[in-house]
Amino acid sequence: MPQKGSITKKTMSLKDTITARYRRVRQRSESICQPLETEDYVVQPIVEVSPPKWHLGHTTWFFETFVLSNDHSYSNYNPDFNFVFNSYYESVGKRVVRTDRGNLSRPSVDEVFKYRSYVDENMERLFAEQSIGLDILNLIELGLNHEEQHQELLLCDIKYILGNNPLLPVYSDFEEHPVGEENNWITIAKGKYEIGYAGNDFHFDNEKGRHPVWLEEFQIAQELVSNKEYLEFIEDGGYQRFEFWHAEGWNWAKECNVRAPEYWHYQNGKWMNYTLSGLREINPDALLSHISFYEASAFAEWKGMRLPTEFEWEVAHENLKLGKRWEWTNSAYLPYPGFLKKEGAIGEYNGKFMVNQMVLRGGSIATPFGHFRPTYRNFFHSNLRWQYTGIRLAQKQFS
């Protein structure tokens, strides 16, 4: 099997931990898909939403390509799957264009599950070896975090697939609309603060490069914006008043005829909201969700406030109520000082996307537990809102 490095008791303990974690993570991906009908696995309504079948295959392809294929005796399940399930790794070869993932009637859903079983069996054989090098264990850990990222995407993509079906079918009783708590303003003193990951546990390369930043005194809301607050924005003509919007955002809202958050429907004089448990009347006290950066920024401007920067968010995070929505910041997704991409395909993981995207912080109800880090940097284009995204406000510092 893959090349072995120096083995220590610490490495053996890490192997046991990762073995158990591998089984849990792989099983959870399949559990997320369990409520689906076979037809649901193949649908791709928009380019950002990948079919569930593709997620299951792609996360399996990662372990086959980057872990198992290091062993020359390993036989790939199907060499054509590299073309089908590669996502964006140019150094690994050609791939199906992202927009065409929903056109893949083959491999079938059954075949994808057989593929997962085949790779899992070979990973179990790897785990059964007396020794696995630390470099391979670290690669497996990256693969597990990668699959957990796709588990969050799976939930969001499944919701978009079902939420754009005219029948608005129920997925499960998944509770996705927590009610906000009492809100307060937190004041953070001006000063020099350290930003970025410091430690030895798992983290992504875009979190590295701990460095000082200077922040002026600022105030940030302890809680996220509620549906009730956003309804006030809608009722005050927020989507018809250009003065609150970036020019690009204003054009987007007009061209796409956006009049409310994703999944909101105005029916019989009431605002309704599609949830994974079906269509429900909007709870005004629940936290707002499925908002683009454009909308978040326009709402903040309407309130006479602003979005916090990612540095302000990181400094203030211990005082905030977190983990319910990914929170848009007013920071572009850029490398930290000294950022270096790794050689080869793994170096394509984050660095190549550091352009024209905005940073989100905090995690959401769909985020796996291990991804709640104060330094975790999520990133999306300004128009996207199929994720569980919300708004946290900061006070403007200057009049």
What lies within 8 Å, CB to CB, of 140 at 6+ separation is 18, 22, 63, 67
Residues 206 and 147 in one domain: no
pLDDT category at 5 given cuts 50, 70, 90 is very low
The answer on pLDDT for 369 being more than 90 is no
Domain-embedded: residue 178: no
* pLDDT above 90 coverage of the chain, percent: 81
CATH number at residue 100: 1.20.120
To the nearest whole number, what is the mean pLDDT of the chain?
92
The tokens describing 105, both together, are: 């009637």
The answer on pLDDT for 341 being more than 90 is no
What lies within 8 Å, CB to CB, of 311 at 6+ separation is 193, 195, 213, 215, 331
3-state helix, strand, coil in the chain (%, to 5): 40, 15, 45
Domain count for the chain, please give it.
Answer: 2
Residues 69 and 127 in one domain: yes
When pLDDT is averaged across residues 145-173 and rounded to a whole number, the result is 97
CATH number at residue 251: 3.90.1580.10
Domain-embedded: residue 266: yes
Residues 202 and 140 in one domain: no
Residues 123 and 225 in one domain: no
Residues 149 and 233 in one domain: no
Tell me which residue range forms the domain holding 226: 185-395
pLDDT category at 44 given cuts 50, 70, 90 is very high
pLDDT one-digit tens code per residue, 197-253:
999 899 999 999 999 999 999 999 999 999 999 999 999 999 999 999 999 999 999
Given 163, 198, 218, which residue is the final one in a domain? 163
Domain-embedded: residue 176: no
Residues 158 and 205 in one domain: no
The pLDDT, as a whole number, for residue 343 is: 72
pLDDT one-digit tens code per residue, 370-390:
889 999 999 999 999 999 999
When pLDDT is averaged across residues 248-260 and rounded to a whole number, the result is 98
pLDDT category at 3 given cuts 50, 70, 90 is very low
Nearest CA-CA partner of 293 in 180, 383, 222 = 383
What lies within 8 Å, CB to CB, of 81 at 6+ separation is 57, 61, 64, 107, 115
The pLDDT, as a whole number, for residue 1 is: 46
pLDDT one-digit tens code per residue, 69-106:
988 889 999 999 988 998 766 555 677 777 788 888 89
The pLDDT, as a whole number, for residue 8 is: 64
Residues 101 and 37 in one domain: yes
Residues 57 and 140 in one domain: yes
The pLDDT, as a whole number, for residue 344 is: 67
Residues 149 and 192 in one domain: no
pTM for this one? Answer: 0.93
Residues 229 and 142 in one domain: no
Q: Kindly report which listed range (275-279, 318-322, 348-352, 395-399) carries the lowest average pLDDT score.
A: 348-352
Residues 233 and 365 in one domain: yes
Dist. CA 151–CA 29, nearest whole Å: 6
Domain-embedded: residue 1: no
Dist. CA 189–CA 173, nearest whole Å: 43
Per the DSSP assignment, residues forming a β-bridge with 272 are 265, 281
The answer on pLDDT for 189 being more than 80 is yes
Q: In b/e form, how buried is each residue of 325-357, taking b as 16+ CB within 10 angstroms?
A: bbbbbbbebeebeebeeeeebeebbbeeeeeeb
The answer on pLDDT for 342 being more than 90 is no
The pLDDT, as a whole number, for residue 62 is: 94
Domain-embedded: residue 3: no
- In the chain, where does DSSP find H-type helix? 9-33, 52-66, 81-85, 109-128, 134-163, 227-235, 247-255, 293-302, 310-316
The pLDDT, as a whole number, for residue 205 is: 92
Dist. CA 100–CA 50, nearest whole Å: 9
- In 164-268, where does DSSP find H-type helix? 227-235, 247-255
Helix axes 134-163, 52-66, angle to 10 degrees: 170
pLDDT category at 313 given cuts 50, 70, 90 is very high
Residue 347 identity? G
Domain-embedded: residue 232: yes
Domain-embedded: residue 62: yes
Please tell me the total number of residues recorded for the chain in this structure.
399
DSSP for 56-94? HHHHHHHHHHHTGGGSTT---S-TTHHHHH--S-GGG--
Task: State the DSSP code for 179.
Answer: B
Residues 251 and 157 in one domain: no
Domain-embedded: residue 169: no
